[in-house]
Amino acid sequence: MNIFYRPKYQSEVTQFIEQLKSKDPALEAKQRQGRDLLWDKEVNRSDWSDYREAQVEQKAYVYQTASK
């Protein structure tokens, strides 16, 4: 038996989230829609490799001006 086991315990944060979900059942669907909009994108591997090949190597100190 685990001494830290509390079967009925829920933190305040968990209670708050459960309350939000009960007030707005579509909340999770809205969250997934927002995630799909910004994060879950298909990556075109050939375009990505072309992008990597086209990058120019950066100098060690970018702000140094050329000496005359």
Q: What's the predicted TM-score (pTM) here?
A: 0.46
With residue 60 as reference, give the H or E element that holds it. none
Give the pLDDT confidence score for residue 26 in this predicted structure: 95
Q: Where are the domains of the chain?
A: 10-38
pLDDT tens across 14-68, in order? 999 999 999 999 999 999 998 888 887 888 899 989 999 999 887 788 787 776 5
- Cβ–Cβ under 8 Å, residues 27 and 21: yes
User: Is a pLDDT exceeding 90 seen at residue 1?
Assistant: no
* Average of per-residue pLDDT across 4-11: 83
